[in-house]
Amino acid sequence: MMHAASRQALATLREQFPAVAARFSSVDGLNRLADELYSVSALLLRNPQLRRLLADSSTAAERRGGLVDQLLGSQLSASAVTVVRDAVALRWSSPWDLVDGLELIADDSLLQAAEQSGALDDVEDELFRFERILDAESNLTTLLDEVTVAPARRVALLDSIVASKVNPITRALLAHAVGTDRKRGITFATRSLLEEAALRRRRSLARVLSAVPLSDVQQTRLAATLTEMYGRAITILVAIEPEVVGGLVVQVGDEVIDGSVAAKLNSVRSALAG
């Protein structure tokens, strides 16, 4: 978890990023920018000395920016150089947080591409479906998180599951989460991407498990009820889960509202066992 200085640095970097993203009128441009920023974060992961130099707030920001120009200026687009210069000019609590910040801005670039192309709803839904697969398949999660396995093999396993079934932006987000050497666990990464997608629409996310499909009217009513309960706009993502039996299980952030028949039966069993 980032400390206060790094959280502020990331917030500032995200405030600056739209000015760079606005340069691109095509999704392809934002995708290329994300690839470049991912490549810089990978370079910093492999090179501890460079990572420390670029995150060293005891040296002048202009000097750190000059180092970016010197080492990366001929290899990156002007937009990518701008983002990296903006990043190294900020004060990060640790060099690792600089790496994380660049990766998160790369994620933002892909989410911006999804929003710009009208695919954000699809990307959000596909991330949610993949999160449900991970919840159901613990062995898959273990394999995708296995750091002793080459990144290319982890990505190949991911592709065997999602490659032709999801939007290319969804695939790119998940492929980086699986393939990066800066591992935090694919479940955590997927959850974070979902939250970021919801925040782009200034909404909170509600994960809903139901034994049967909900109609559009039911989903609209549920979203309205949750919005009133929490005092902020709520987007709901619904997954069919037969084990729920009846009713709904709703998760908003860390809070779970379990109105399922299964939960009630479990409560009765616990009471009888006691």
Last residue of a domain, one of 117, 138, 163: 117
Query: For residue 27, what are the domain limits?
Result: 1-117
More confident residue, 266 or 116: 116
CATH number (domain holding residue 224): 3.40.30
Question: Is 70 exceeded by the pLDDT of residue 268?
Answer: no
**Domain shared by 165 and 56, yes or no:** no
**Domain shared by 9 and 111, yes or no:** yes
Last residue of a domain, one of 201, 218, 235: 201
Last residue of a domain, one of 97, 117, 137: 117
Asked if residue 59 lies in contact with residue 92, where contact means CB atoms within 8 angstroms, the answer is: no
> Where would I find the H helices in the chain?
4-21, 27-46, 48-55, 61-72, 78-88, 95-116, 120-136, 138-145, 151-162, 168-179, 186-200, 216-230, 261-273
Average pLDDT, the chain: 91
pLDDT score of 274: 57
**Domain shared by 139 and 231, yes or no:** no
Backbone angles phi, psi at 210, to 5 degrees: -135, 145
**Domain shared by 182 and 212, yes or no:** no
Tokens found for residue 86: 């903006």
Asked if residue 181 lies in contact with residue 172, where contact means CB atoms within 8 angstroms, the answer is: no
- Cα-based distances in Å from 155 to 143, 145, 160: 11, 11, 9
Question: Is 70 exceeded by the pLDDT of residue 273?
Answer: no
**Domain shared by 12 and 91, yes or no:** yes
Q: How many domains does the chain have?
A: 3
Question: Is 80 exceeded by the pLDDT of residue 267?
Answer: no
**Domain shared by 260 and 209, yes or no:** yes
Question: Is 60 exceeded by the pLDDT of residue 251?
Answer: yes
Over residues 81-94, the mean pLDDT reads 97
**Domain shared by 156 and 179, yes or no:** yes
Q: What is the C-alpha to C-alpha distance for residues 114 and 122, in angstroms, rounded to an integer? A: 9
**Domain shared by 95 and 10, yes or no:** yes
What's this model's pTM, rounded to 2 decimal places? 0.84
**Domain shared by 212 and 248, yes or no:** yes
**Domain shared by 143 and 252, yes or no:** no
**Domain shared by 224 and 249, yes or no:** yes
**Domain shared by 96 and 36, yes or no:** yes
Asked if residue 84 lies in contact with residue 13, where contact means CB atoms within 8 angstroms, the answer is: no
How do residues 117-154 score in pLDDT, each as one tens digit? Answer: 999 999 999 999 999 999 889 999 999 999 899 999 99
Asked if residue 145 lies in contact with residue 134, where contact means CB atoms within 8 angstroms, the answer is: no
